[in-house]
């Protein structure tokens, strides 16, 4: 795992793409503060660039670095979530503008999975986490199900957990307004 994390950080720092395990499904990742790297993700996925991307952080303590006004309810939801939870916040900043949605919104998930949490902590910036599939195709539940074009289209493929055959699923998603109102999207 150590070699994978070190190599991922080198790739992320130079604006490259990684294929890595997360707390949900395998993801395509890049430096979430680098607009050129984000463009590469959209191209690889054949995804319209007006669709926002999710980012991972290692700790809720870092939310204030990327969201103008983090509602207290967000921290409470993160603390009690029993499965991976992505929260969409309005007023994102310090992130690549081309990964944001309407109202400069961003979906952020605090990872509790060993590899992705350690990667985010050591990289020191948020990492994009979008499903490892071509847009419109089903998301791969295991590494073996990932489209070969995706595997070949990244700069580094993490070795850790490639043999994991337990199927994983996407996170729950909640849209949370600064006034504390929310909407469950998935």
Query: pLDDT at position 64, please?
Result: 96
| pLDDT score for 125 | 97
E-assigned strands of the chain?
Answer: 18-20, 27-29, 54-57, 85-89, 106-110, 127-128, 130-131, 156-157, 172-176, 182-184
Mean pLDDT (whole number) for 63-73 = 93
CB hemisphere CA count around 160 (13 angstroms)? 19
Range scoring the smallest mean pLDDT among 72-76, 147-151, 165-169, 180-184:
165-169
Q: Which CATH number fits domain 2-184: 3.40.50.2000, 3.60.21.10, 3.90.870.10, 3.30.470.20?
A: 3.90.870.10
Q: Are 66 and 74 in contact (CB under 8 A)?
A: no
Contact 108, 55 (CB under 8 A): yes
What is the residue extent of each domain of the chain? Answer: 2-184
Q: Which two tokens stand for residue 47?
A: 């995804």
Using CB atoms within 10 A of its CB, is residue 141 exposed (0-12), middle (13-18) or buried (19+)? middle
CA distance 112 to 122: 14
The count of C-alpha atoms lying within 13 angstroms of the C-alpha of 44, restricted to the half-sphere facing its C-beta, is: 28
Number of neighbours of residue 140 by Cβ within 10 angstroms: 18
The pTM assigned to this predicted structure is: 0.93
């Amino acid at each position: 795992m150590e070699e994978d994390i070190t190599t991922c950080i080198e790739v992320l720092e130079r604006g490259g793409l990684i294929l890595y395990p997360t707390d949900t499904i395998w993801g395509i990742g890049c430096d979430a503060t680098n607009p050129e790297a984000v463009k590469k993700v959209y191209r690889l996925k054949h995804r319209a660039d007006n669709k926002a991307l999710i980012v991972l952080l290692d700790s809720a303590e870092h939310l204030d670095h990327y969201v103008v006004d983090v509602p207290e309810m967000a921290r409470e939801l993160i603390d009690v979530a029993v499965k991976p939870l992505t929260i969409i916040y309005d007023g994102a900043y310090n992130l690549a503008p081309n990964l944001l949605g309407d109202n400069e919104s961003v979906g952020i998930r605090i990872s509790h999975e060993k590899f992705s949490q350690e990667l985010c902590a050591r990289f020191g910036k948020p990492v994009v986490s979008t499903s490892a599939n071509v847009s419109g195709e089903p998301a791969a539940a295991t590494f073996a199900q990932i489209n070969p074009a995706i595997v070949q289209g990244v700069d580094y493929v993490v070795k850790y957990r490639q043999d994991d055959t337990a199927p994983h699923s996407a996170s729950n998603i909640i849209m949370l307004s600064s006034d504390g109102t929310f909407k469950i999207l998935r």
